[in-house]
Amino acid sequence: MPDQKIPIKERYPSVTRIPNHVAIIMDGNGRWARARGLPRAAGHRAGTDNLRRVLPAATDFGVSVLTIYAFSTENWSRPLEEVRGLMTLLGEFIQRELRSLHANGVCIRHSGRLEGINPRLQAQIQEAVALTRDNKAITLNVAFNYGGRAEIVDAVQRIMRDGAPPEAVTEEMISRYLYTGDLPDPDLVVRTGGEYRLSNFLIWQAAYAEYYATPAYWPDFDEAELAKALETYSQRDRRFGKVPNN
């Protein structure tokens, strides 16, 4: 257990730069469970519980926006029982945590299509977003029923419905019409579970994000693992196409 009395930034002095927006592909729940001889559902439960560690740590580090990839548009092709389990977990998470998230100043956002999610869960998501909309400690953006390509399709449809002439369409406009509209682009994308792919996550917004992958399964990704990702980020030279600084 890290000593909670010492401020987090003093405990990890190599973390010298804090990304404004961290986006995490929370992968490896199934393998975490399998390694313990448990059903995949137990991995998803442990993964959900893990937010209790990672969200406060990110808040303490001073991250402004934490996006978590919780359910992709592609995850509908998993067995029905697993899909149902993941839906139930989000509902339980909101029910169990909403009050304390609100008390801790967490602003909850949803990125993804509400359409397709069961109406009761839709209502829970909308309630959580509405209740916490003015909170300022950190924004927790939950990518649920999220797909980067679906998001771009939704944005283009809305732009066309709004009757924009072609020459009015700019990068800024498309960004504004995405689910993440008013949020800054991610500075750091973290993937747990050892794979090196985006899996349709924030494909527009992460165009210039730094990428960090770790073999740690999501339920094992704790404060120290987050600090490692931030340490690595601190050492990156973000050039945005310009010539190097030194």
Question: Interface mask (CB under 6 A) for ligand IPE, residues 146-185, using x and -?
Answer: ----------------------------------------
81 contacts ligand IPE (rule: CB under 6 A): no
193 contacts ligand IPE (rule: CB under 6 A): yes
Minimum Å gap between C-beta 206 and ligand IPE is 14
Nearer to ligand IPE, 19 or 193 (CB): 193
Nearer to Mg ion, 186 or 193 (CB): 193
Nearer to Mg ion, 49 or 127 (CB): 49
Question: Interface mask (CB under 5 A) for Mg ion, residues 4-43, using x and -?
Answer: -----------------------x----------------
In this structure, the dihedral spanned by the alpha carbons of residues 177, 183, 188 and 189, taken in order and rounded to 10 degrees, is: -50
219 contacts ligand IPE (rule: CB under 6 A): no
Q: Which residue is nearest to Mg ion (CB)?
A: 27
Nearer to ligand IPE, 19 or 47 (CB): 47
3-state secondary structure the chain: CCCCCCCHHHHCCCCCCCCCEEEEECCCHHHHHHHCCCCHHHHHHHHHHCHHHHHHHHHHHCCCEEEEEEEEHHHHHCCHHHHHHHHHHHHHHHHHHHHHHHHCCEEEEEECCCCCCCHHHHHHHHHHHHHHCCCCCEEEEEEEEECHHHHHHHHHHHHHHCCCCHHHCCHHHHHHHCCCCCCCCCCEEEECCCCCCCCCCCCCHHHHCEEEECCCCHHHCCHHHHHHHHHHHHHCCCCCCCCCCC
Q: What residues act catalytically?
A: 27, 75
Minimum Å gap between C-beta 31 and ligand IPE is 3
Minimum Å gap between C-beta 163 and ligand IPE is 35
Contact set with ligand IPE (CB under 6 A): 25-31, 69-72, 74-75, 86, 193, 195, 197, 199
